[in-house]
Structure 1
Amino acid sequence: LNNAYGVLESANQDLDLQLGSLANAGGRILHTGNGTFGLDSGQVIRAGGELTTNGLLDIRASEWTNSSVLQAGRLNLDIGTFRQTAEGKLLAVQSFTGRGGDWSNDGLLASDGSLR
């Protein structure tokens, strides 16, 4: 999916994206539902952009470099190699859970609830 400088918005209860790759530099993917926003991608290219949901943001990827905002009610990341630049922000209202093998964070990780 190439959503560079684009907007993808869904008001459904759930949004599930199964992608081979994602390019979202300057783009926005917004899920206004309260269910699950699932993103499964083998490779994220120029992730950038904004990913936002009122519900659960569940991301699974082998690699991800984040230089923007991922914001959710609940944030669950399962990423093999994760890099977050100084501009990157992972924001959760209720809970944040991060799993993976190799993580490097130069940005902000924040949760009003649990942080694991």
Structure 2
Amino acid sequence: MSSEVVHEGWMVRYGRRMTGQYIHMRYFILNSSRLLAYYEKKPQENQEPIKAMLIDGNCIVEDQGLKTHQGHVRLFFFFGNFIICYVTSLNDKTRMVELYCK
């Protein structure tokens, strides 16, 4: 990616199919151009992502504040018909952030 990396790390990707829900661990990178890309594992140089989504003016971020939840932070991103959840620890608090795309 030519833009500077703003945030990167492992996330849990939730999806839905006619047969039910499924969960996958994916490596996500958000760059300064507001492009959110994900990979099956941490990418090497010039590796193409599985999918990339531009977080543009049609997306709204709703911050629901800090909540205690098993010592993990969970960030949920909603893109069309699937949800992405970022999980990490932060002083036994959970920060819930939802991103809605129109």
TM-score under structure 2 length normalisation: 0.24
Relative contact order (C-alpha < 8 Å, sep 6+): which is higher? Answer: 2
TM-score under structure 1 length normalisation: 0.22
The structure that has the greater radius of gyration is: 2
